[in-house]
Structure 1
């Protein structure tokens, strides 16, 4: 069959979202949300997209991009999405070749891509192009509707006995510096998380617009742990387009407050608040080496789903240079 590959334009976002959501029905995204993310992307974080058309129909998309949380000027993510009925016809390869050829001007040293471990065809496609598994990310789901916060009363009592208070953002909004404290806490926790690149904090104003100004932001499902006036931990959920579901955000406590049951207490309070608000389910991703958070989630009733693999391919440099950079 024939197709045409061209650069992506703004008018393609709606068709892109339709294709994306058909391929990733559990991780949907709207055209408006993707436009917003692009608008809030810092200039150094490169992104470029293409579409493949057959007649007037969108058959597939390809892109390269750099993550906003861990920028490296010569490391890129590559993504290829093809409509299910157009696969195994060479379109994915054509889109991939288009993306990689365009990347050459940036002199990349490492390419990455995400795929799920049970997507055998995708794994073969990646392996044939020199990609090997890197970080493993565990996905799990929690049935909020059946979650019983009272079963974890002892965990909440343990936090309280240590003088730790857990408050929702609406309870803290009368404090003039709550946004700055939340920002500082989030950046410190993100820097401690297992990841493939060092965390690069965004400017405060940009973080505020991305997070507090997001249509997915749910103040009542943002829980903060306080030691006196100090923000020492957080657990939050975000609005999801799938009815009845919330997306799991960040859960963590500062280093000196770990191994005291505080992260568990935060997560219990957050899940209880989500249940009270009528939500039925949440899903989360955790790096496989994050044994502490995985253990908390399993204890609270999260059940494993197929994991995700971050595939990696050194290019334009020897493997040692890509690993060291």
Structure 2
């Protein structure tokens, strides 16, 4: 058996998406998105997608690069996955070694990785020198079966729109996203996301469903939203739900998410997934209110690359 680690090629899109979905079944992922992320990532992210090939078959991949949204230099990511039936043969180690070498060459000092909370995955991370940090949850909602709870009317002066209504000028959504994301718990601060990078990373991604992304407008501003990403095959992912600081504690994020979920069900989505930091109590409470059930836990691991 020979293991080859190489750069992703467009012909690998189907296999790369399939192996990642097999390893992390809670993700809403398509081959189109995998290929798009490689070609459209912001330049300062220095994104690279590696694939591991065994006897001519892609069995895993590693997405790696620099956190472009953070002002702190040297912070990098390396998120790898190997198909369950191909583990224990060295593909993961080969991917990680190549990715870390690439990041070291870029001058990165710290590598962050998301790792599923199972003995094999966490053991792999620890054997390779990674230390456990914070945790996050994947949650699932059966949209086809559950009755979505009703909400009181929107506050006076507030109205619901969709991201499609901002197609000509999405900057109000960028301003809202930056403010909301700045207060999310996490290891890496999102304090340096410029508009062009935001467009590249989020607005133009092929799985963004603008018709299902709901926005609350009030006082002439976009003040809350719930971002919908779908695979157009019935699976829905909440990309971000947030509210401007001055408009919090009014139930606006819940209103936006409720509207988005209802639109998604009418559009034929049957499963909804989301991911939340374990310390994001407000969002976990909102998701629990809608009926989301925790499906899995993952941990953030990090390693000092300068050791």
TM range (shorter): 0.7 to 0.9
TM-score (norm 1): 0.82
User: Which protein has the bigger helix share?
Assistant: 1
Secondary structure of the corresponding residue to residue 218 of structure 1: coil
Q: For residues 211-270 of structure 1, what are the alpha-carbon distances to aligned partners after superposition, in whole Å with 9 as ceiling and x for unaligned?
A: 4433323232122212231221112312225x3221112212111211122222222222
Take 2:260 and 2:300, find their aligned partners in 1: how far apart are those partners? Answer: 29
TM-score (norm 2): 0.87
Q: For residues 271-317 of structure 1, what are the alpha-carbon distances to aligned partners after superposition, in whole Å with 9 as ceiling and x for unaligned?
A: 22222223222110111111111111111111111111111122316
Select 1:303's aligned residue among 267, 288, 293: 293
- For residues 272 and 113 of structure 1, do their structure 2 counterparts lie closer, same or farther at Cα, with a shift above 3 Å needed? same
CA contact (8 A) 1:218 1:239 kept: yes
Alignment length (residue pairs): 307
Take 2:204 and 2:3, find their aligned partners in 1: how far apart are those partners? Answer: 39
- For residues 202 and 300 of structure 1, do their structure 2 counterparts lie closer, same or farther at Cα, with a shift above 3 Å needed? same
1:136 Cα deviation (Å)? 0.9
Paired position in structure 1 for 2:152: 156
Take 1:213 and 1:105, find their aligned partners in 2: how far apart are those partners? Answer: 29
Select 1:188's aligned residue among 179, 184, 208: 179
Take 1:207 and 1:39, find their aligned partners in 2: how far apart are those partners? Answer: 15
- For residues 131 and 223 of structure 1, do their structure 2 counterparts lie closer, same or farther at Cα, with a shift above 3 Å needed? same
1:11 Cα deviation (Å)? 4.3
Task: Verify: 1:232 aligned to 2:231, yes or no.
Answer: no
Paired position in structure 2 for 1:41: 41
Task: Verify: 1:17 aligned to 2:11, yes or no.
Answer: no
- For residues 86 and 200 of structure 1, do their structure 2 counterparts lie closer, same or farther at Cα, with a shift above 3 Å needed? same
Task: Verify: 1:214 aligned to 2:205, yes or no.
Answer: yes
- For residues 303 and 100 of structure 1, do their structure 2 counterparts lie closer, same or farther at Cα, with a shift above 3 Å needed? same
Take 1:39 and 1:106, find their aligned partners in 2: how far apart are those partners? Answer: 19
Take 1:108 and 1:209, find their aligned partners in 2: how far apart are those partners? Answer: 22
CA contact (8 A) 1:71 1:197 kept: no
1:79 Cα deviation (Å)? 3.3
1:202 Cα deviation (Å)? 4.1
CA contact (8 A) 1:107 1:316 kept: no
Select 2:257's aligned residue among 261, 267, 270: 267
Secondary structure of the corresponding residue to residue 44 of structure 2: coil
Secondary structure of the corresponding residue to residue 32 of structure 2: helix
CA contact (8 A) 2:2 2:55 kept: no
Rg (Cα) greater in structure: 1
Gaps of 5+ in 1: 318-325
Task: Verify: 1:223 aligned to 2:200, yes or no.
Answer: no
Secondary structure of the corresponding residue to residue 210 of structure 2: strand
Paired position in structure 1 for 2:162: 168
- For residues 205 and 156 of structure 1, do their structure 2 counterparts lie closer, same or farther at Cα, with a shift above 3 Å needed? farther
Take 2:71 and 2:180, find their aligned partners in 1: how far apart are those partners? Answer: 17
Secondary structure of the corresponding residue to residue 211 of structure 2: strand
CA contact (8 A) 2:209 2:230 kept: yes
CA contact (8 A) 2:16 2:34 kept: no
Secondary structure of the corresponding residue to residue 260 of structure 2: helix
Question: What is the CA RMSD across the aligned residues, in angstroms?
Answer: 2.7
Secondary structure of the corresponding residue to residue 197 of structure 1: coil
Task: Verify: 1:248 aligned to 2:244, yes or no.
Answer: no
